[in-house]
Amino acid sequence: MNFFDRLENGWTIAMSSFKVLKEKKELIIFPVLSGISILLVLASFIIAVFASSGWDRENIPELNTPGYYLVLFGFYVVNYFIVVFFNMALIHCARLYFRGEEVTVRAGLQFSVSRIGVIFSWAFFAATVGLLLRIIQENVGSLGKIITGLIGVVWSVATFFVVPVIAYENAGPLEAVKRSSQLMKQKWGESLGATFSLGFIQVIGIILVGLPLYFLGSIFHPLAGIALAILGAFMVISIISAAQTIFVSAVYDNIDGDLDKHFDKQMVDQLFEKKKKSWF
């Protein structure tokens, strides 16, 4: 299968992910809950920092200090935990759907709770990597930003399939990165096609939804326009995030031969013809 065929397959699976989301609209709740939770955590960290400084900005810990990095690390851990927790719940629901089983929000949340230990382990590991990159970025000048930018891209690619790996395989953080990297090497074309497609749709969606809402709200007040535009953008991002997570689940699960009724059987057979073994 050549490069352009792989890109086309990535597009096809990504679009099929929207069909799954359309049929199971309740799955959108996971990225919505994730986004809201992250905003609440961010607000709580900001309030905690201000409260600990006596509500005086001059007493807030300066950058590049142990206290600053400790708070930043704590936020990273909680942030990664929330994202992975809800993404894993969505991936499990997608797997249930692909296998023709009952799909419920409760089932997804229960599964994530059952894997809370590995989720925390990954969050701690990812937060450590994120903090190290941040320290390099803030202390090595322009060169540090270039280095961390390149490492960040590599990290995003290498961890593309981490969530289903830690969900269904008995893998520690380092092994999960290695396993995810192996999957990405095999399916980089499809993943690139889907990522580009979903990214393009997200940008267009934000424009088509955000601008009308902004002008509509601005009729009453500029702040109302901004609030509506942000809300619209949040919903578009949530939908795209859910579609991408379903895509990841579809690629991962179809490796074992599970076919979703929305996917073209011949295309999927060709896409995964070399993957006939079980990893459980």
Domain count, the chain: 1
Give the range among 30-44, 164-178, 185-199 with minimum mean pLDDT. 185-199
135 belongs to a structural domain: yes
277 belongs to a structural domain: no
- pLDDT tier at 267, thresholds 50, 70, 90: very low
Query: Phi and psi of 53, rounded to 5°?
Result: -95, 10
Name the residue among 11, 64, 47, 79 with its Cα closest to residue 271.
11
122 belongs to a structural domain: yes
Q: Which residues contact 217 (CB under 8 A, 6 or more apart)?
A: 223, 224, 225, 226, 227, 228, 229
The stretch 85-91 carries a mean pLDDT of: 96
Q: Domain range holding 38? A: 3-271
- pLDDT tier at 262, thresholds 50, 70, 90: very low
pLDDT in tens, 242-259: 998 998 888 887 643 333
254 belongs to a structural domain: yes
- pLDDT tier at 280, thresholds 50, 70, 90: very low
248 belongs to a structural domain: yes
Q: How far apart are CA 192 and CA 157, in angstroms?
A: 10
